[in-house]
Structure 1
Amino acid sequence: MKINEYYIKARLFPTILISIPVLSLYYFGFSEKLIEFTTFLEGYEWASDITLSIAIIYLLVQINRLISKELFQNIFFKEELNMPTTNFLLNSDTSLAKSIKSQLAQKIAADFNIHLLDSTSENENEEEARKTISSAVAQVRNVTRNNSILLQHNIEYGFLRNLTGGSVLAVVISIINIFLFQYTFPNPFAFKLNFVFLSIYILPIILSKFLINKYGIYYAKILFEQYLKK
């Protein structure tokens, strides 16, 4: 696992934010029982609340990434075939000026030997046009990977996408916690706290399509702008 700025800000930070309901269940419900379980491991320094919390967060990073990519990105964008980076390069799309699209198509052909479909071919087989563009965009990302401006926008998009995906898990855990803290581990404070969590984490889900698409558009514009400058 490579720890870099993108991992910390776009994956770890949203995971920490959405892990609060899980950690509330751990501390208010299971912490004492887990501590009792780990007492016989006294010879191992890693047996502690801190280590268990880190392990939980690491697991959530993986689950969070899976949900955000497989659920939201797949539903909204069909992987990358309907992402703004793909839509912008379609001949039928008017988001970019024709002159800019022409420059991009020429540069992509020269740099990667990938030829985007013309209007006629695109109308006959839009799916093939989208697949070709998607392949080209992947190459564009590779050659602009170290661009600091693009990295910042990529982090912002990744943070939002992962926060939205993770919010699904946070909502589910909050609902479970509400029942557990009402009946299994009675705790009025934790019960009310998880109602607050539920209200907070459901908002990114409700606004998910608008926010992810909006930040995806920002990212696409910067990606092509920085690529043309190379």
Structure 2
Amino acid sequence: MKPWDEYEIKARYIPTFLSVVPLVQLLLLIIDKTFWLELISNISWMLIANVSLSFIIMLSLVQIQCSLGKGWIEESVFGKGGERFPTTNMLLYAGGLISNEGKERIRQKISNLSGCTFSSQLEEKKDPANARLQAREASGFVRALVGQGRMTIQYNIRYGFFRNLIAGIIWSSIGSIGCSVFYAINGNLKLAISFTIYFIIYLMMFIFKRTILENLAFLYADTLYNEFLYQNKGVN
């Protein structure tokens, strides 16, 4: 994946930027400007090939926030390694989401193209863990084959954006609450209320993360398998 492709910008960089804005504002408010001027002066030797310290910090925050999104937010909704992600559940008889006939069409095409095997309905009941592993491996083949697709990438970006945005609740909350308190103490109620609203928005997204991510993940998975089924038939 290229560092500046559409997914990287929309699903990784933008959510991180939106999350750190309140924290950066808080730091600018509580730390004297002289400190920042001295810091810039002292680390000027670190500026190599026009790469600024702020850019390095931003890249680091992107990696941290996206790791939290994948390892904390996503796993809290879909289990370790995303074992209950809709792309897996759609291939399981017990997973629901689509009809058994739809599952069979997808399974048959995957088996024909990749040689992947699936558990029968009876085998799935006897050994659900193995059936889930088979489905997860098969979904990986489908993602690799479809790639960005025509619409799959857009639903993938939408899901990634909200997953990573929710993961930014840690520093967005610290920054928003800090700024709200600071501005309230200094009599600037408009800005205090603005940052309070900012905090409430993030809090609500975190509280309802399961509903948000399950809906977005389903739309992504549904689009992925539709494009997989019809990509060679001229229909998308």
CA contact (8 A) 2:177 2:195 kept: yes
Quote the Cα distance in structure 2 between the aligned partners of 1:52 and 1:94: 49
Counterpart position of 2:107: 105
Counterpart position of 1:30: 31
Output aligned runs, 1:19-168, within 5 Å. 19-30=20-31, 32=33, 33-40=35-42, 51-78=52-79, 79-168=81-170
CA contact (8 A) 2:46 2:53 kept: no
Quote the Cα distance in structure 2 between the aligned partners of 1:44 and 1:56: 13
CA contact (8 A) 2:20 2:175 kept: no
Return closer, same or farther for 1:199/1:95 CA change in 2, 3 Å cut-off.
closer
Task: Find the residue that maps to 2:94 and give its secondary structure.
Answer: coil
Return closer, same or farther for 1:191/1:114 CA change in 2, 3 Å cut-off.
same
CA contact (8 A) 1:64 1:169 kept: no
Q: Which region of structure 1 is more displaced relative to structure 2, 36-45 or 111-120?
A: 36-45
Counterpart position of 2:6: 5
Deviation at residue 191 of structure 1 after TM alignment:
5.7
Task: Find the residue that maps to 1:19 and give its secondary structure.
Answer: helix
Return closer, same or farther for 1:113/1:42 CA change in 2, 3 Å cut-off.
closer
- So what's the TM-score if we normalise by structure 2? 0.84
- Map Cα deviations across residues 85-133 of structure 1 (whole Å, 9 max, x no partner): 1111111233212222111111111111111111111101111111111
Instruction: Number of aligned residue pairs: give it.
Output: 225
Deviation at residue 178 of structure 1 after TM alignment:
5.6
**Counterpart of 2:94 in structure 1: which amino acid?**
S
Deviation at residue 187 of structure 1 after TM alignment:
4.9
Percent identity, aligned pairs only, is: 26
CA contact (8 A) 2:166 2:205 kept: yes
Deviation at residue 34 of structure 1 after TM alignment:
1.8
Quote the Cα distance in structure 1 between the aligned partners of 2:175 and 2:20: 9
CA contact (8 A) 1:168 1:205 kept: no
- Map Cα deviations across residues 37-94 of structure 1 (whole Å, 9 max, x no partner): 3235667777x9x944433332221121011111111111112210111111111233
Task: Find the residue that maps to 2:93 and give its secondary structure.
Answer: coil
Q: Which region of structure 1 is more displaced relative to structure 2, 74-83 or 151-160?
A: 74-83
Return closer, same or farther for 1:156/1:138 CA change in 2, 3 Å cut-off.
same
Aligned-residue RMSD, C-alpha: 2.7
Quote the Cα distance in structure 2 between the aligned partners of 1:148 and 1:97: 24
Q: Which runs of 5+ in 1 are unaligned?
A: none
CA contact (8 A) 1:19 1:57 kept: no
Quote the Cα distance in structure 2 between the aligned partners of 1:58 and 1:188: 35
Counterpart position of 1:209: 210
- So what's the TM-score if we normalise by structure 1? 0.86
CA contact (8 A) 2:89 2:96 kept: no
Deviation at residue 18 of structure 1 after TM alignment:
0.8
CA contact (8 A) 1:157 1:212 kept: yes
Return closer, same or farther for 1:154/1:52 CA change in 2, 3 Å cut-off.
same
Q: Which runs of 5+ in 2 are unaligned?
A: 232-236
